[in-house]
Every structure is written in C-alpha cells, then in structure tokens.
Amino acid sequence: MNHIFRSAAAALMFSSSVAYAAPTAADSRSELLVARLMQENGRADMACALLADTPANSVDADRLYVLARCNASLQRVDAAIAYYQRVIALRPADANPKVELAAILVALDRKDEATQLYKATLPLLPAGQVSTQMSNLIEQLGRDDPASFARQASGKPWSLEFYAGLVHDSNINGGPVSNIVPAIVGGFPGNFILSPDAMPRSSWGATGSLTGSYVMPLNERWTVLFQGVLLGNAYFDTSDFNNEYMSLSAAFIYRAKDWSMSIQPNIGFSRQANRMNETTPGVIARFSRNLNPTWSLTGSLGYINRTVHLDHNRNADGVLGSVGVVAQVQPDLQAGADYNVQREHADAAVYSRRLDGPSVFAAYRINPQWTVVGNYSYSKVKYDEGSFFFPAREDTQKTASLTSLWDISSWAGRNMVVRAQYTQIDNPSNIGYSNYTRNIFSVGVQTQF
C-alpha cells in the first residue's frame, strides 16, 4: 500500500512543478492528507517536503502538527520543538502535542520543561479510571435487568437512595508501576523517565451518591422505568482528580410469563476537576428468559456515542453486547456470569479499540441483616494503531471487588445500611504509562426512601 501513497505524493509534487497556480483550500487539504499518510507510513522526509511551503506565519494547526511530527522523526529537534510550540499556542486544549513535546524534552534531559508541560496536560486528559465504586453503581443501573427492577418495585412506584462515606484510593491518577517507559524516538529505542507527578498518588476522600427511580405501568405488559444517578468523589490531598458522574435513563419494558425485554435510551455526563470531561448518550436493548426456576438466560445489545470535550480525537461511536446466565442457586444465593464485547471507532485510529472478556458475580445473604456481593471481570483491550512513540496499545484489565451490606435499620431506622467495599484493579499493558495497579476501599452509610 505504501507505493500508492508515494505515487500520490509524487503526483502532487510533480503537478506543482509543471505550472504555477495559486493554491486553493482544496489543494491545501489534499496536500495535508497525503503528508499525513506519508508520516504514518514511515516517509517523514516526503511529509516534510510536501509541507515545506507552509508560510512562516501560518495558523493552520493541522499542517504545523504534521510538520512537528515529521521533523521529530527526522531528528530535526529544534524545528520539531518550534512547530510543537506553535501548535500548542493555537490549540491549548489539545493534549497530544503537549505529551509528544514533553517526551522530546525528556529525551533531551530538559526535565524541568517537560514537567511543566506534563502538569499543564493533566487537566486535559480524560478521567478514564474514575473511582471504581462509582463504576460499580453505574453498572448496577446499566446492566441489571430493568424488568426485574420494575417487578421488585411494583408495590411502590418510586425509590430514592442516598449514600455517603469515606474512600481511600491508592492510585487516584492511574499512575504507572514504573517511572521508566520504553519508547521509540526518531526511529531509535530509548526510555522516558516520567515526572514524579506521573507516579501513583494515594488519598483519602469523601464519596457520595444519590440514585432514584420511578416506575410507571402502562398496561399489563408494558412499563416505563425512569432511573437517575448522581455520584461524586472529593479527595482531601488534591482536587485535581475530584470527579462527578450523572446518568439518566428511561427503560421501556415488556414482560411476558417466562421472558422480558427492554429498550433503554440513556445519557451519561462525567466531570473531573470541575471541568466537563465526557458526554455519552446511547441506547441498549436487553432480553431475559427464564429457562426453569433456577436458570435464566440474558443478553444485551447497545450503541454509544462518546464526546470527549478536552480531546476530540477520542470522540467515538461504539457497539456493545453480552450474553450470560443467572442462577438462583437457593433463596439466599444468586450467581451469574456473562461475556461482554465492545467495539469503538474513534476520530483518531490510535484511540479506536476492541474490548472483550467475561465477568462473574455472586450475591449471598448470610442472614437477614448481612449480605455480601463479589464481582470479578477480565477484559482484553486492543487498540487499532500505535502513536508517535509507541506501538498499538494492548491492556488486560482484571477487576475484583467484594462488597458487604449490613442492615442496621432495626437500630437506626429508615432502612439504614452500612456498606463497605474493597476493589483491586490490575491493568498490565504493553505501554509503560498504562501499566498500573489500584486498590480502593470505601465505607459509608446508605438509606432508602
């Protein structure tokens, strides 16, 4: 395929030498497109040659970005740094140019400048791994069968639950296990020494959630279930990683004797450090069939559209699905397993990815006042393409969680429950800065109205 790109580039350069004509916007875009292809296919020399006539006072950030990258590949360090600085001035909210320039400065042993760039980049990066107890609550709203929820709530149309507690997170910033990150700079292998700010940071914090639901029967078969959740963490040591999440959904549920289905449009908003991070609308269809009094078969299929406000290269459309089984082993023990797949196409191929893997759970009521819930998930994550310095990223995320629910309402009233949860995340990756571990403990009190 490379010969096609080279032919396209040669044709553009030849046509410009045959006769002069004032370049049009279309010509400029075509030239930029071919230059990008040249850069991505290892022909940095041709990419730089195609864009050599870029005016010294150009404000075209896309052209300057390609020039920065091709000059870096050709080890024209001073030119690359100058172009990166111009791109950053034009697009201060873009994280990638800052990260790439910081890597060059680290390789040049200009660590103080790199550290300043890194600190400026932190607020631009997506939250990614927000607190896991938040994710667990979101998952309860998103993955549980809405029909089962509506059935349990049939005696009371509305429900409101409030939780407040403390959380300790050993790695609030998702820092890597090592400060040495192998990479390729200008075609040569090397190591980046990460700023101390990039390493794992632990902190205690306050955590809370408010969840609500309202069930509206339409007839004997159809029901509408409205759900909402608002979650948040505020860390005591720093506010840079404080985060909030809000989710709203409406499930249209059909229930028959032995099976049920639902269609659930939803939207989620996440914020970090008081800045909007992601907006993710979507829709998911769920199916559940009772095979016998013990076993049920479940399945889901959905679509999401993610907007990352601080880095639009990460904007993505995705499809997801799952198949699973749930077993009511005995009145006080329920267990289940499912296999999940997800495919995301991002605006930049380096962020497009595939995720798949199994998860299992078990919930056991030890006595009327004490219930424990265990979860374990294993997910393979593969990205489509590598970045400027690294190959295509591959992660293996393993998450184990144990939750204890102790009902103290007989003493405290108002459906009071003490909830304690421990979660461990292990995320080995072929990219050093994505290889991290995390331990999270939270404890608090929840009440339901």
Four-CA torsion 60, 63, 66, 68, nearest 10 degrees: -60
Query: For residues 393 and 396, what is the distance between their CA atoms, to the nearest angstrom?
Result: 10
- The pairs formed by 250-253 with CB atoms below 8 angstroms and a separation of 24 or more are 250/224, 250/225, 250/226, 251/146, 251/150, 251/224, 251/225, 251/226, 251/227, 252/222, 252/223, 252/224, 253/146, 253/147, 253/150, 253/222, 253/223, 253/224, 253/225
CA distances from 137 to 143, 161, 210, 425 (A): 10, 12, 10, 16
Q: Domains (ranges, CATH) in the chain?
A: 2-123 (1.25.40.10), 128-448 (2.40.160.40)
List pLDDT tens digits, range 93-131.
Answer: 777 788 788 778 877 767 667 767 766 665 555 444 334
Structure tokens that stand for 17 in this block: 């030498």
pLDDT at 91: 86
pLDDT at 155: 57
For 81, half-sphere exposure in the C-beta direction (CA atoms, 13 angstrom radius) is 15
Stretch (H or E) spanning 264: strand 259-272
pLDDT at 29: 73
List pLDDT tens digits, range 127-179.
Answer: 443 344 444 444 443 345 565 555 554 456 888 889 999 999 999 888 888 87
pLDDT at 128: 40
pLDDT at 15: 34
pLDDT at 139: 42
Low-confidence ranges of the chain (pLDDT < 50): 1-23, 126-143, 153-154
For 353, half-sphere exposure in the C-beta direction (CA atoms, 13 angstrom radius) is 18
Query: For residues 95 and 91, what is the distance between their CA atoms, to the nearest angstrom?
Result: 9
Phi, then psi, of 98 in degrees rounded to 5:
-65, -45
Kindly report the pTM of this predicted structure. 0.70
pLDDT at 325: 92
